[in-house]
Structure 1
């Protein structure tokens, strides 16, 4: 049986890096996509020859597509793509919000997901592959004026629509929806919250499910 392959966006730290570590531990070939070439190279040095650094910008479709094509030329095809890259806002709410921050966040959290999915789809079709998206607890509830939460509502809605679309070729789509995770996303450590490894385990719960079973969403919350 050939080695399975996964490309992860936002792979340089946090959830993406933890998922990459678990993937390599399970014997998968991993493509690591993020803006920080230095961090990606350090991760490749840690993970070894099963990991490939793919520096690029998720807000640039040509950049995402080139990385996807480069990874395929090296490993032969893609079994799974994890659209994990995301960003938040420093000024919450609408009245206090910063339109420039909103634009940057929409470019990453919405267009970045669209570009990743668009670039991935031909490769996933070829292998009846699996698409995973990082949603959020913020995309499953109403939070006063939360523009960030609204961007994650998009991810949840689009993920459900993709599940229907991908049925046509035997593919699957899973939205991974965590509550607060202890990652560099936050300025202060959150040791009592979810850890990136919890999210990585959820990713592989979906990936390892029997092909007859589509795990459409996994919703994780910290117990504290």
Structure 2
């Protein structure tokens, strides 16, 4: 009997991560839910069903948390086939003017850049065994120049991480996909004002993720840049 494939998602408690978890579950995967919010994860795990879903509280900016996430996943399900490094957040602190918020900047860089890199470093040895798929959440603003905040720079870094991993993993069978959403209506924004009115839904991005994952093993969808109709940048 073929063992079911395992799909791990960071930032899985809300928004794009939660929507992707639902679709991965519907597609028949065992699903590992990782995020800082243990209460939200537990509710999603209960809703989807404990038999094929495991929730694991994890702060991706903490190396030991991520090591525990990988170890717990392997102990429960025995393998990794798809990893979606999706955890991240945005703060609108400008480079000039306003209040100094160094701790806010530091946490954003640790989560968006170090966290994604750590997810890759710790999961790739297992993905090699299954010729698996590594996906990572970038952004439109990691593709263009954005003003006002450091968030755009973190997503430029994620673009570089995705390209570096793809180059490094040539010959292993691993596929690498960078997901670059435009404006999406999710709790991600918090108090940061959204740039304009057009918005995608979390399900729109989750469908793009599942499209990349569902391709034949010889097809590597490298980059999906997806904007709502009417978003100019």
Aligned counterpart, 1:86: 88
Extract unaligned runs of 5+ from structure 2.
none
Of 106-115 and 94-103, deviating more is 94-103
Conserved in 2, the CA contact under 8 Å of 1:61 and 1:119? no
CA distance in 2, matches of 1:126, 1:94: 47
How big is the alpha-carbon RMSD for the aligned residues of Structure 1 and Structure 2? 1.7
Extract unaligned runs of 5+ from structure 1.
none
Conserved in 1, the CA contact under 8 Å of 2:179 and 2:224? yes
Aligned residues: 224
CA distance in 2, matches of 1:94, 1:199: 33
Aligned counterpart, 2:182: 179
Alignment of 1:110-189 (within 5 A): 110-187=113-190
CA distance in 1, matches of 2:96, 2:20: 33
Query: 1:90 Cα shift?
Result: 3.3
TM-score between the two structures when normalised by the length of structure 2 = 0.91
CA distance in 1, matches of 2:126, 2:97: 42
SS of residue paired to 2:177:
strand
Query: 1:94 Cα shift?
Result: 4.3
Q: 2:71 aligns with which of 64, 69, 72?
A: 69
Task: Write the deviation string for residues 150-169 of structure 1: whole angstroms up to 9, x where unpaired.
Answer: 10000011101111112231
CA distance in 2, matches of 1:147, 1:36: 24
Aligned counterpart, 2:27: 26
TM-score between the two structures when normalised by the length of structure 1 = 0.95
CA distance in 2, matches of 1:167, 1:2: 26
CA distance in 2, matches of 1:94, 1:215: 38
Query: 1:35 Cα shift?
Result: 0.9
